[in-house]
Amino acid sequence: MKVRTLRDGEFGGKRVLVRVDVNVPIEDGRVADATRIEASLPTIEHLRKAGAKVILVSHLGRPKGAPESKYSLKPVATWLNAHGVPTAFAADCVGAIAEAAARSLKAGEVLLLENVRFHAGEEKNDPALCKQLASLADAYVNDAFGTAHRAHASTTGVAKLLPAYAGFLIEKELSALGQALDNPQRPFTAIMGGAKVSDKILVLEKLLPRIDRLVIGGGMAFTFLKAQGHEVGKSLVEADRIPLAKEILERAKARGVQVFLPVDVEAADEFKAESVHRAAKVSHMKPEWMGLDIGPLTAAEFTKAIISSKTVLWNGPMGVFEWDAFDFGTKAVAEAVAACQGITVVGGGDSAAAAQKFGITAKVTHVSTGGGASLEFLEGKVLPGIAALEEAAANSKPAR
């Protein structure tokens, strides 16, 4: 993808509007998890050192197009100030308040605007809001990969009105995900998990021609096992997707892709964290049981396949890892991914949460910050936020 990066612009003395994704959990008025904020710090610091006047814009939560105190970004400004990034806060993202705050910025200073979704025009990509946001700055940087699949005012509209660049985070995301898809070292193993086959159909179709091994776990595995004629008890099965599961297995076989499915599972009596459970071979499943995790034999097989790979792409947990009783399989896969000496890419969403829970984030090549965005990228869909940067690069003019 041809986008301009921070290395392509001169930002000294210029006001730069930076779309970040600081949609972080807030508890008791404090940032509970700063992972997404930390991910954009390299871009913010680069611009500060270049002498830019940095204006941060983001959303938080799902306000209904009007101010709601619980969705205020003020705690993020507090976090930035406490962590070495002196940051002013504007109580609105456009209008007189934002304009005055932007004008008062000096080189190297940072301003965080209030939640852009307090304006209904954000999610509608309203031209008027786009113009108001663009009027605050001389250049635009998108560093919010997690929202790149949304055609909103702050992710696409502004990019059409200002010289637009990709921040370091977006550059890293495109490089890591793109390399895994287009230039993988082999063997290339895709690990697919999560609840439903229907959530991963497009990803599976995109990956099958590219991969050497396909590891399938999580709830979606039971649809594949059912397609093979196994008893899966009360486990999650998408009956209408069984023919598709058969087709995927047939296509994988025809392409020489080695498929790994569970040979044993952690079978529970009911869907509860404290449910009675036991490891059971797939061939010994009882009709009254449900599988909530992969079993130890499966974990060992999956681990062997993962560790011996040169490229690994992991998207989706192996079980209900939020419950400690059923987190063994996801933890085993996480540790295997961390132990792999090749290129290891972890998709966003639940996979990223699992990577954090099991402490492997720093041990893999890349953990995506975008759940929906990374999934759509892997599906081969056009991400509006990235397309806007590509268009801006094609029509590039120097930052004024």
196 labelled catalytic? yes
Take residue 93 and report the two structure tokens written for it: 């993202």
Phi, psi of 275 (to 5 degrees): -65, 145
What single-letter DSSP state applies at residue 208?
T
Dist CA 173 CA 357 (whole Å): 21
**Measured between alpha carbons, how far is residue 78 from residues 24, 32, 82 in Å?**
13, 12, 6
Q: Whats the size of the chain, residue-wise?
A: 400
Take residue 379 and report the two structure tokens written for it: 């599906």
Residue of 349, 370, 371, 385 marked catalytic? 349
349 labelled catalytic? yes
Dist CA 318 CA 191 (whole Å): 9
Take residue 41 and report the two structure tokens written for it: 């710090």
Contact 222, 242 (CB under 8 A): no
Residue of 12, 61, 108, 372 marked catalytic? 372
Residue of 14, 15, 19, 36 marked catalytic? 36
List, in sequence order, every residue forming a beta bridge with 190; answer none if it has no partner: 214, 313
Residue 329 burial (C-beta neighbours within 10 Å; 0-12, 13-18, 19+):
buried
Residue of 74, 160, 196, 246 marked catalytic? 196
36 labelled catalytic? yes
Q: Helix, strand or coil for residue 219? A: coil
Which residue is associated with the tokens 């005055």?
100
Contact 169, 44 (CB under 8 A): no
Instruction: Just list the catalytic residues.
Output: 36, 196, 349, 372
